A = this chain, B = another copy of it.
Amino acid sequence: MSQTIDPTVVAQVTALAEKARVASRRLALMSRAEKDAALLLLADALDAAAPTVVEANAEDIERGRAAGMSESLQDRLRLDEARVAAVAQALRDVAALPDPVGEIVRGSTLPNGLQIRQVRVPMGVIGMIYEARPNVTVDAAGLALKSGNAVLLRGGSAAASSNHALVQAMRDSLAAQGLPVDAITLLEEGGRDAARALMTARGYVDLVIPRGGADLIQTVVRESTVPVIETGVGVCHVYIDRAADLDKAQAITLNAKTHRPSVCNAAESLLVHRAVAADFLPKALTDLAGAGVRLHVAPEVTAYAEAAGAAYALASEQDFGTEWHGLEMSVAVVDDLDEAMDRIRRYGTGHTEAIVTEDRAAARRFTAEVDAAAVMVNASTRFTDGGEFGFGAEIGISTQKLHARGPMALPELTTTKWIVEGDGHVR
């Protein structure tokens, strides 16, 4: 680390993390029935606190507006009564999910009679570092509680008032239930140093999950000494193979780019096999232009972009590795599957990569050789999602290889413990 962290802040965060650890020991022993009951009461508490939360949120919005926050960021930050009801409902949905804790992952009786089993147990204390999205505050608290973990929340300062109101309502409910309030803790002081103290609270915090833009995630990965799960940056490709069904290709391309362009599983780059470029590009680029997508094109695509009436520019090298977060897309023609996979290796971020093809051999090579959290055949990149995968909840999408890869839900917030039972066994 290049800078030192204010020791007062380190002491504050450490003290909060110690309290969270004490709380976590109680949480680890709660039965599923107890945790589900607690989640339902937390949800009721949020519903009851809705007026307070909305008022606190209005302060954040007002502060944001005065500071020139963009409309789209204001929208992500805004909590009206309906949105508070939705976050409360999310806690009820988490209560309905199976409890990962106690699951026996594997086990056996050894030749010497020792009985061994590997059992899922909570991590302990989880740190979340995220941007000004108050719904993440409640989602993370609910998923942590359900998986038996205490959580330390460090949300974006632009949502400070909203987060305070949400966490206060949840902590008041925990207290009323006779549960440890330190199960859910908001780091409200210390500015950036609080986040940095959280990432270096080794021995106090078991896992840090950053959620947000590439800068936030890279900072956490670089500075953290606590284990981190990297989430989210997605430069996802759709590759239209020479053996593609072009109707499917057209639908998948449009959906992958425009269904929700701001999220990490949206497609950012379109690769088209030379053999089908003349058939496919006029239709696909007309679709994209019609949806308002601005194109960043390789030289040989310019004529198609022009003919489709698209807004376009010649793509720079950098454009092909850009996560646009909006209605923009890079487009290139490739000579073959190998060139497509080479480009994916060079520009992709290991999130989601899709091939559209009716050729089994091409699909088999693509799924075997492309190194990403999710590899799609004839499906939109938008399906890489905990909800779509049937997990019922998602705390982020891991793009790293350690511990969790792809959508992370409750099991990914647990670790395991070996329990070994003998009868006086020695070696």
Residues of A within 8 A of B (CB): 1, 25, 28-29, 108, 110, 114, 116, 118, 121, 123-124, 202, 206-207, 221-222, 225, 227-229, 245, 247-248, 251-252, 254-256, 259, 363, 367-369, 371-380, 382-384, 388-390, 400-403, 405-406, 415-427
Contact = CB atoms under 8 A, between A and B. Distances in A.
A425 B207 contact: no
A375 B124 CA distance: 17
Q: Which of A123, A202, A422 has the most CB of B within 10 A?
A: A422
Can you tell how many copies of this chain the complex includes? Answer: 2
Q: Which label, helix, strand, loop or mixed, suits the secondary structure of the A interface?
A: mixed
A427 B259 contact: yes
A374 B248 contact: no
B252 A379 contact: no
B402 A227 contact: yes
Contacts of A229: 402
A401 B225 contact: no
B369 A25 contact: yes
A366 to B, nearest CB: 10
Contact of A426 (B25, B202, B382): B382
Residue from A1, A110, A388 with most neighbouring chain B CB atoms (10 Å): A388
Contacts of A402: 206-207, 227, 229, 402-403, 415
Contacts of A401: 123-124, 206-207, 227, 415
Closest 6 CB pairs between A and B? A379-B422, A248-B424, A255-B426, A401-B415, A403-B403, A374-B418
Contact of A225 (B221, B372, B423): B221
Contacts of A363: 421
22 contacts: A25-B369, A28-B369, A29-B369, A202-B221, A206-B402, A227-B227, A227-B402, A248-B424, A252-B424, A256-B426, A259-B427, A371-B417, A374-B417, A375-B417, A375-B419, A379-B421, A380-B425, A383-B425, A384-B418, A403-B403, A406-B417, A406-B418
